[in-house]
Amino acid sequence: MWGAVPVVALTALVSVDRIPGTNISLTVPYAAEGPGPMFDTLGEVDGVPVVEIDGAPVDGTAGELRMTTVSVRSNMTLAQALGRWLTTDDTLVPVEQVFPPDLSPEEIDQLNQQSFTSSEAAATVAAMNHLGRPVEIVVVDVLADSAASGRIEAKDVIVGVDGNGVDKPGQVQEFVRGKQPGDRITLELQRGDRQVTEVIELGANPQDKKIPMLGVLMGSQPTDGVDVTFNLQDIGGPSAGMIFSLAVIDKLSDGQLNAGRNVAGTGTIAEDGTVGPIGGIDHKVRAASAEGVELFLAPAANCAEAVTGDKDGDMVIAKVNTLDEAITAMADFGAGRDVAACS
């Protein structure tokens, strides 16, 4: 009987996050990654379209085009971490892979939001390029206490950098990356009906002090009056880019890109339509398979990992390198033709 007491005490100890009566943490330095929620980018969230388009006729859509996510659990006790490892397919990773130790929670949230906003901008540019529509760069937000704070305003349109005309956020980013923290950069802005020039001394990225940082979140807007808004909150990272771009194209072109089928996917998107790899794709594939998705669009660089997530092997996992390849995969699948698939 007494021999069981230490076991009971240990069980109680690992199920609380601090030593009772102290501030000593008992959480383990690991995070659990697993399948997260999916969002149909052709549908609605909280009563508004996930991808909202104004200023142009929107074509009817059918089926689903789902973006996928990864859930992350941190601040786990030993018992909680062991429970995730023993009873789920979650992956345990060192917590610093998810939350850099040199950044505050607020800085991490800010960087995640910046990455997501950049992804939305790239998705808009890639879609407009595919559709042949011109775009311009609009400032979505200015980061507090950044180099741009007090000098650039939300809704400013960036038309030039150091005397060079620009119309895509990636062009501004390239000019910034070509400098050092402390260097000056000249921005030509359209602010309402005024033209404004600002000479700004660049700051440093909080994650790497050697990387210059302007401190603005940039988006893209078509110059022909079309307005694209992505209505998802509390989602971070760049992995929804490809799906967002496909949703915009679907809504602004005739017919259904997905042939009215249930399609999901993931992947970053560059302004030129290149699809890039992401993390946690096995969890995303597993979630899609469990929800009855018929076709999953996976970055070619993630193919080997993607096929491990479909336990039943019933879902077609297409290998895509570009936005055009993703569109072709959906067309082939809808017509019953062979799809270039991951193996």
DSSP assignment of 66-79: EE--EEEE-S-BHH
Q: How far apart are the first and last CA of the chain?
A: 56
CATH 2.30.42.10 domain locations along the chain: 137-222
User: What is the pLDDT tens value at each position of the chain, 343 positions in all?
Assistant: 333 444 444 334 444 555 555 555 568 888 888 888 999 999 999 899 999 999 999 998 999 999 999 888 888 888 888 888 787 777 887 877 767 777 777 776 777 777 777 788 889 889 999 999 988 999 989 998 999 999 999 999 999 999 999 998 889 999 999 999 999 999 999 999 999 999 999 999 887 889 999 999 888 788 888 889 999 876 767 888 999 999 999 999 999 999 999 999 999 999 889 999 998 899 999 999 999 999 999 999 999 999 988 777 789 999 999 999 999 999 999 999 999 999 8
* AA identity, residue 258: N
CATH 3.30.230 domain locations along the chain: 33-75+225-335
> Which tokens is 124 given?
């808009």
206: helix, strand or coil: coil
Question: CATH topology for 33-75+225-335?
Answer: Ribosomal Protein S5; domain 2 (3.30.230)
- 180 close to 212: Cβ distance less than 8 angstroms: yes
- 102 close to 132: Cβ distance less than 8 angstroms: no
Please name which of 325, 333, 262, 330 lies closest in space to residue 291, comparing C-alpha atoms.
Answer: 262
Q: 171: buried, middle or exposed (CB in 10 Å: 19+, 13-18, 0-12)?
A: middle
Q: How far apart are CA 264 and CA 266, in angstroms?
A: 7
pTM for the full model?
A: 0.75
Q: Per the CATH hierarchy, to which homologous superfamily does domain 137-222 belong?
A: PDZ domain (2.30.42.10)
